[in-house]
Chain A
Amino acid sequence: MTIDAVTLAVLKGRLEQIADEMDATLFRTAFNPIIAEAHDASHGLYDAVTGDTLVQGKSGLPIFVGVMAFAVRAVVAKVARDGGLADGDVFLFNDPYDGGTHLSDFKLVRPYFRDGKLFCWLASVGHWHDVGGNVPGNYNPAATESFQEGMHIPPVKLVSAGRLNADIVDILKCNSRLPLSLYGDMSGQINALDLGIKRMDTLLDQYGAAVIAETFGELRARAAKLMRACIAELPDGTYSAEDWLDNDGIADVPLKIALDIVKKGETMSLDFSRSSPPCAGPVNIARSTAIASCYVALKHVFRDVPANAGCLEPISFVIPEISLLSAKAPKPVGGYTETILRVIDVVFQALAKAAPLAVNGCAYGTINALSLAGHRRDGRRWVMFSFFGGGLGGSPESDGLNHGNAPISTATIPPVEILEAAYPVLFNQWALRPDSGGAGRHRGGLGAVYELELLEEQADVFLFGERGRTAPPGVAGGKSAAMNRFTYPTANGTAQPPMASKMTGLHIAKGDSLRLETPGGGGYGSPSERPADAIARDLALGYVTQAAAARDYPAQIKDAAQ
């Protein structure tokens, strides 16, 4: 090694700052709130030859951190096949099988040239508001082919040597219910890539290409070394866990996600062979997505390992060709968020058996994509599309966080007042949900109750959720949280969806109310170890009702009564 440790530390900060700055540029200029408020986007630098992740921004969506390398690889393969790569090109695509995640996520990939040679790739991914398909917002719980989920674009040159291909922009706009939003988000992503190129020029002018190239290699080696050290501390052995998806939205049959971790020395194998085969509905995920979600789970446990390809070096994956977790076109993948949350849950549950002091209880485990769409009196179309929160798991240190965001995301939720100002809805409740956190020495955080009423004449409602049949589990003896529950009005009362937390074809009228009660997090440690004063506080503040406390903490409640 010729680069010294100090320069390396300095350059690591500089490179991360470039990715962060690209994130910030897109967040500030994006049109759709899923990017601007929920930060459903990510940026980074990738290896010129392999597409491996070199550096990733800190503020982007965690799941993208794992998946972007696959997206860049798809472009690398395209260039290898077709040739004709030029400085100033920008590729655009949303293929979910090669590039990961789902059709809503548009990846823009741009080569960075130095002295006439390809030095590395820059990429930007963002979740666009609407990309066609059967359901506004693209969470179609009844899809059986990806054609019902939205347009499908393979890697194409959006920009050729600096010249924007306006034909492609026209095709994209024509296939979206919200063309202006699409145009605004795409422009923001181009801006972010422009900025990244500018910053790379400055950095390479200052340090020289050779030093930066060496820095990339060195950072990767160090991440691998750090991950090996983390794995080595776990006892050797096989650790297994199983968890379930409610159903695929088509047939009401539970789908199994099973993991066997084989840990030996400094390496770990994650084997998903015992999981369910592909399903008819939209909860399949591509192999790239499955690996990316394991990466997210491991990063939540081994927090100090830097975000680059090195951290996956000591880890191997066994995912059968025919599996729910290695979907091929045109299997629907629109609900990928639910499946990857479950993959993360099994990683936590299996690792908790190896290292109970390093792992927390499972989080609420569903994003609850709720879409309401209709027309205003003046004929204008409106689409309200939002994800909802729930509790995080109890940890070795403390109770879980009430009403947090999902482990795959850093998204915030829009305020009630912003939603009410933008859409014809009125919220009657926006509250914590008592008894929703799993019992334990450290209780899981609470989920939420959201109740909203329609103010316009009509609306169509779509819900894509999970955890309506199997609750988020605790770890290390902690108990499960409450399950997800969605209630809608019928002619003679209220009802829950036949597919538990997935609903399509629901029409509501003015004055109708929808109620969503989200899961909390799983508990950590045995409930019998929860201190009496913590239980008393839960009761006084109404986080836990008397009846639930008597059920979950019988010994402590009995002692308190005496």
Chain B
Amino acid sequence: MKPSLVVGVDVGGTFTDLFFFDEATGLAQTRKVPSTRGDQSIGFVAGIKSGEADFARIAAVVHGTTVGTNALLERKGARTGVIMTNGFRDVLEMRRRDRRQTWGLWGEFVPAIPRDLRLEVPERTLADGTVRETVDLAAVEAAARQLLAGGAEAVAIVFINAYANDANERAALAAVRKVWPNPYVTASHEILPEIREFERASTASLNAYLQPVVASYLSRLDKRLVEGGAKGQLLIVQSNGGVMSVETAARLPIRTALSGPAAGVIAAAHIAKSAGFADVLTGDMGGTSFDVALIADGKAALAAQTTIEFGMVVRTPMIEITTIGAGGGSIAWVDRGGLLQIGPESAGSDPGPAAYGLGATRPTVTDANVVMGRINAARPIGGKLASLDIDAAKRAIDTHVAAPLGLSTLAAAEAIARVANSRMAGALRLVSIERGHDPQRFALMPFGGAGALHAGALMKETGLGATLVPRFPGVTSALGCVIADMRHDFVRTVNRPLGALDTEALGKAIAEYAAEGERLVRAAGVELEAIASEIELDMSYVGQTHTLAVPLANPKPDAAAIRAAFEKAYKAAFGRLLEGIEMRVLTLRVAVVGKRPKIDLARLAPQGGSVAAAKTGTRPVWFDGAWADTAIYDRLALPIDARIEGPAILEQPDATTVIEPDLAATVDRFGNLIVRRR
């Protein structure tokens, strides 16, 4: 029998979430197992065994990984060297001459690649692509040997203006490969043939920095799966929400920098679209942060680059995720001017909120939810703690918020929730209203354990049309792994005024990228429904430095079509066109997407049940300045079409949903909760 099981695996800091889907039978199931720190592949394989003993049934395992992200954040990449053009080895350390924050001049920057492992060689290409000085290959080889002697395990080659002509860089790459004992060699033109040397150097060197770590993790994982009898493919989710082969991931590990969160957004898009919502804002509320992404017309917005941390810039297309420091663990405090503030300091998971009873004394957003009865203190989610300490939470709120503001404990708890909500609403507004989207059209989709506690309040404050709580908010990323499309991205600097653009050459480049992309996407050997290319030009008026992404429908566009597409995009973004000014094409982007078969989410829907049977009791919950007798339900036991009027609390193992008094929820045919104003 042909293997038909696809397994999505999202490895987080605490739990490994799994989603199993049988393409032949349409059956689906979820699992949650503890993550194994040190070697994540152990928990990974144990998780798969918990859902399917027979690995031979597995057609594909799709993995959202944080191994790359963590190596960057914790500075645990390989010892890496860089070879650069004479005079430029400090580019990585000089950045774009920024500083950490607007106000305050403190803090240094320690680059991931130390200065003694950044070497220079004679070579130079001009901005127009002319080679002024041919690369000195003997010097390149000597530099490579010096880096090896200095203990470097990986190396990146970054030459000035290599985006315009990569001849010197290619020659140097060949010379380094001859002496380098492993495959961990990255040249900047392979990663990002795009103008701006700091961004290119940072991306290329961090790719090299991650190669040994990510490649060895993936090969360990592959080996464990093969030993278990799996013959299917192992695929990796990229930051752009697409999926790539293990071989590509080992070569381009920088593309996994936001792998985990990206998978969640992909799942959100699919769940929302199936439920009839093409426009969604996702809100992933974790312990220390709130991550927001925008999905318009069923597609997640992409960003060209992100800053992992001050000075660590990664420029590859990725799902645009806006993060603010307001999570369940964010600490509430009153400043010396008497204003209530939330975060950015966080209690983390140890000691965590005061209610965890692990010795913390400062109040967090979670403590406020516990005191108000919104979180069930007797049965905390996640299964890590047996119960929560309400009194400790009250004491923390009294001391640090209620007393300084002259409020009662409960009024202070409500205030904490309100200020936290206003900060999260600010992030939602930032990615929607500020980009010209009408919030009425959008639904909020919370995921993560805490998101659904606040979703109703956020929906009201931001003026969103509805809230959609997916049936399994805690395993959204794992589901995303199963449904993500294969994808490969290409980028190339063009930098020509539209009038001087060779559109024939542009069409040829698009065709070449489409062919190469199709080859890479097919090479992974998974089932695909279709392959399509998405083409975009980064354009501006001549003289502007910021560009606008302009989608092109035609792979062989002429100048008139490009102009029309730009004007349409510019008008949508800024309201009015500028008269008499020439346009410029800075960058060509081509994404080749291999569409994978989608899951029918109705397979996950509840079977039978009744509202009465799902009700587990009542408890007092604090809403708008008073206790309200509130019905509690076992969320997963609610039948399709059930309607629950607020106030109500819906509990499930991995999340708690609060239905505020002026809201009502219905269960749709997939088992999602749709929350709207009553």
**Which residues of A approach B to under 8 Å, CB–CB?**
5-6, 8-10, 12-14, 17, 21, 24-25, 27-33, 36-37, 58-59, 62, 180-181, 183-184, 187, 191, 222-223, 225-226, 229-230, 299-300, 303-306, 360, 363, 388-389, 392-393, 395-405, 407, 410-418, 420-421, 426-432, 445, 448, 451, 455, 540-543
Contact = CB atoms under 8 A, between A and B. Distances in A.
B498 to A, nearest CB: 16
Contacts of A305: 337
Contact of B339 (A8, A180, A414, A421): A8
B99 A17 contact: no
B114 interface: yes
Q: Which of B99, B115, B546 has the most CB of A within 10 A?
A: B99
Given A392-B99, A420-B126, 15 more contacts: A5-B415, A6-B419, A27-B546, A29-B546, A62-B103, A222-B338, A299-B103, A398-B106, A404-B99, A416-B160, A421-B127, A426-B132, A429-B88, A430-B90, A541-B114
A403 to B, nearest CB: 4
Contact of A401 (B99, B339, B543): B99
B339 A5 contact: yes
B74 interface: no
Nearest to B547: A28
Which 6 A-B residue pairings sit nearest by Cβ, starting from the closest?
Answer: A222-B337, A226-B337, A389-B97, A429-B87, A395-B106, A413-B97
A421 B98 contact: no
Given A30-B544, A395-B107, A416-B88, A410 B126 contact: no
Nearest to B94: A403
Nearest to A37: B545
Contacts of B543: 31-32, 180-181, 184
A59 B195 contact: no
Given A6-B419, A37-B545, A360-B106, A430 B88 contact: yes
A373 B190 CA distance: 36
Nearest to B416: A6
A411 B97 CA distance: 8
A184 B336 contact: no
B340 A5 contact: yes
A432 B97 contact: no
Contact of A184 (B102, B124, B578): B578
A541 B87 CA distance: 16
A430 B198 CA distance: 11
A14 B433 CA distance: 13
A412 B97 contact: yes
A33 B124 CA distance: 26
Contact of A403 (B93, B127, B339, B423): B93
A191 B575 contact: yes
A230 B90 CA distance: 39
Contacts of B340: 5-6, 9
Nearest to A422: B127
Interface string B73-107: 00000000000001111110111111111111111
Contact of A420 (B95, B127, B573, B581): B127
A226 B197 CA distance: 43
Interface string B495-532: 10000000000000000000000000000000000000
Contacts of A360: 105-106
A411 B545 CA distance: 14
Nearest to B422: A10
B197 A416 contact: yes
Contacts of B124: 426
Given A225-B337, A404-B97, A415-B96, A58 B87 contact: no
Contacts of A303: 101, 103-104
21 contacts: A12-B339, A28-B574, A36-B544, A392-B99, A393-B105, A397-B107, A398-B106, A400-B105, A401-B107, A403-B90, A412-B96, A413-B96, A415-B196, A417-B161, A417-B197, A420-B160, A426-B126, A429-B87, A432-B93, A432-B115, A541-B114
Given A403-B93, A432-B93, A432-B94, A36 B545 contact: yes
Contacts of B86: 428
Contacts of A223: 337
B129 to A, nearest CB: 11
A418 B108 contact: no
A432 B126 contact: no
Contact of A402 (B108, B423, B546): B108
B627 interface: no
Interface residues of B, number: 67
A541 B116 contact: yes
Contact of A29 (B102, B107, B160, B574): B574
Contacts of A428: 86-87
Interface in B399-447: 405, 415, 418-419, 422-423, 426, 429-430, 434
A17 B462 CA distance: 14
Contacts of A29: 544, 546, 574
Interface in B160-211: 160-161, 163, 195-199
B93 A402 contact: yes
B341 interface: yes
B127 A410 contact: no
B419 A401 contact: no
Contacts of B106: 360, 395-398
Contacts of A388: 97
A397 B108 CA distance: 9
Contacts of A225: 336-338
Interface in B127-159: 127, 132
B90 A31 contact: no
Nearest to A442: B108
A59 B102 CA distance: 7
Contacts of A363: 105
Interface string B572-613: 011110100100000000000000000000000000000000
A420 B341 contact: no
B98 A417 contact: no
A222 B340 CA distance: 12
B341 A9 contact: yes
Given A184-B544, A540-B116, A402 B103 contact: no
Contacts of A421: 127, 195, 495
A451 B541 contact: no
Contacts of B93: 402-403, 432
Contacts of B336: 225-226, 229-230, 304
Nearest to B335: A304
B97 A403 contact: yes
Nearest to A433: B90
A403 B94 CA distance: 5
Given A184-B581, A401-B99, A420-B161, A432 B90 contact: yes
B625 to A, nearest CB: 11
Contacts of A180: 543, 581
A403 B95 contact: yes
